[in-house]
Chain A
Amino acid sequence: MSADPTEYAIEVEGLVNAVGRGQVLHQNLNLKVRRDEVITLIGGSGSGKTQLLRVILGLKHPVAGSVRVFSVSWYDPSLKKVRDARRRMGTLFQNGALFSALTVFDNVAFPLRERGGVSEKKIRAIVHAKLAEVELAPHQGTLLPANLSGGMVKRVALARALALAPDLLILDEPTAGLDPDRSERFVQLIKRLRADHRFAVFMVTHDRDTLYALTDRVAVLGDRHIIACGTQEEVRKLPHPFVQSFFGGERGRALAQGEAAA
């Protein structure tokens, strides 16, 4: 996949999004994710982070405005363009969303088989490489998702999201439901994979540890639009109550100081 460095991974322009009976959730929302950065979306509960993610993933029709991923709108009449853009994007759902009827191996192989053009033998090699990358043993490939622990589900889902070597990885609460040790290792895993593959990351998280460890830029969702988008230092100065409570808590300050000292 040729990557134009000036291309944006995600462009959201003038988005208006409503839920239920016309309750406006987002109004004139703009957001751009560059081709090579890690950007984190934060926002208070009920601010519509998940809904924004659904719109970006093309699972929900916005009322107005445009969402383009790699300059392609999900509603582009050319199905081929849409499919190609979809294949440049990997998604990690909060609960994994593994296909429960398929084994771990088949789950990771699914996007490869779906794309076609690769022999089964090569698919097997790629899948085992991906499983090794997320620290799963080859014999675990025969397990069904129901037999996996929460951390393993996330890692398998990550392997599946990375199966097509995407240029953009979308993470929905990547560390939710993992204990601190596991989530730390998961963050390290993503960091390492990113060093190897240079994909852009767009993630939604509540976890400040994840945020500090990974993010280049932070986008803050509040009052129905992106109220700030910049580096952590820039965003931290914002006098918005949510930002202050998010970064300003005891734990947040201690972490930030630790980061500065390191």
Chain B
Amino acid sequence: MRRAVCSRAMIARDAELAVETVENDPVPTRIRASGEWTFAGLKTRREEILRTLDDLRRIPPSRVAWDLTPIADLDDIGALWLARALRGVGQLEASVQQREILDRVAQGSRVRIAMEHPIDPYAPVVAIGEAALHFGAHLRDATALLGRVVLEAGALARRPRDTPLRELSASVYRAGVAALPVTMLVGFLVGIVLTYLSALQLKRYGADLLVINIVGVGVVRELGPMLASIIAAGRSGSAMTAQLGVMRVTEEIEALQVMGVSIITRLVLPKVIALAIALPLVAFCTDLAALAGALLVSRFTLGIPPQAFLEALPRAVEPVNFWIGIGKSGAFGFAVAFVACHYGLKVLPNTDSLAAGVTRSVVASITCVIILDAIFAIVLRNVG
């Protein structure tokens, strides 16, 4: 029973148009609109009504008389449909409310706003120029931030008591210990893949044992630090940017500044130092995992016993390679955290800017790591 009442109330009476022609009259076409001229009411017989309205357009409007009084309900959509057809009609019968709605809608549809961005033939050139200027501004701001970080680090060295140790240790834990499982897993798998591929090639020349040289140097000097820092950029870098960005959105950064707390000492330095400490350790563990993968594959595909692998490893890989790898990861950690903080502090107080900031931060820090790696490779080409 209850349901029946409900459903009857829900059903809208569809909008209807009745056209009638009277001979020998100055206004021969009579149109009666009835039913609900609302979004819901117009839905079912949309096509039919549109066709009728189209047909009516062929008759000069002065020879048409409209009667809107039977309409049960009129909303903005219905009024918009009617307003177009009603332009300049000979006779119109409508209630005061209906006329008001029609006037309002007609006014709204008369508003013309000039196109805000007219098509500019030089747009691509302008875009390139703007991109360059943006890049320049980023470079300038990053340099300023680097200067401030160095200055505040110097100030901190003079009064070590002010070091935010809690933030520092929390960041080392979050960026280091918490990242170990995923980084080591990736390292292990990459070690397996790399060894397997090299083994396939080396087997043909009977140079099986060289796999230890290739994988050993590759992992310790390049892959370990790179994997660790790329995962750190995705994991910790994005988190740092998001944290600083949200603090900007919630005005926490302003609150700190107003209290006279240095944002650099409090928020940027702990992150930068923590990642520069944590990443070499993570890279070391990644090295271990990758070498374990290599050891496993060499045992099963090349038949090199684990003992032989471990004995050959120190001879194949000079220790300096290891230290280069560790040193590089420290630099990568600094770069990732620094880029993340730079983008985090540039976030404007809106969600769009936050999302864009995090994306750019991850992309820029990975790019930065790869550029740094290329520089290291060239500078240290004669070492190890």
Interface set of A (CB-CB < 8 Å, partner B)? 57-59, 82-83, 86-87, 89, 91, 93, 95, 97-100, 110-111, 114
Contacts and interface: CB of A to CB of B under 8 A. Distances in A.
7 contacts: A57-B258, A58-B258, A86-B258, A87-B259, A97-B255, A100-B250, A111-B259
Nearest to A145: B250
Interface in B289-343: none
Given A57-B257, A93-B254, 9 more contacts: A57-B254, A86-B258, A91-B255, A93-B251, A97-B250, A97-B252, A99-B252, A100-B246, A100-B250
Interface string B43-86: 00000000000000000000000000000000000000000000
Interface in B249-292: 250-252, 254-255, 257-261
Interface pairs A-B: 6 shortest CB-CB: A86-B260, A97-B251, A97-B255, A83-B260, A91-B258, A57-B258
A144 to B, nearest CB: 13
Nearest to B255: A97
Nearest to A85: B260
Interface of B: 246, 250-252, 254-255, 257-261
Contacts of B254: 57, 59, 93, 97
A87 B258 CA distance: 9
A122 B73 CA distance: 70
Contacts of A86: 258-260
Contacts of B261: 114
A89 to B, nearest CB: 8
B264 to A, nearest CB: 12
Contact of B257 (A58, A100, A111, A114): A58
Contacts of B257: 57-59
Contacts of A91: 255, 258-259
Contacts of B252: 97-100
A58 B258 CA distance: 7
Contacts of A82: 260
A78 B250 CA distance: 30
A103 to B, nearest CB: 14
B239 to A, nearest CB: 12
Nearest to A163: B259
Contacts of A100: 246, 250, 252
A93 B260 contact: no
B255 A93 contact: yes
Nearest to B257: A59
A100 B253 CA distance: 11
A99 B255 contact: yes
Contacts of A83: 260
Contacts of B259: 86-87, 91, 110-111, 114
Nearest to A91: B258
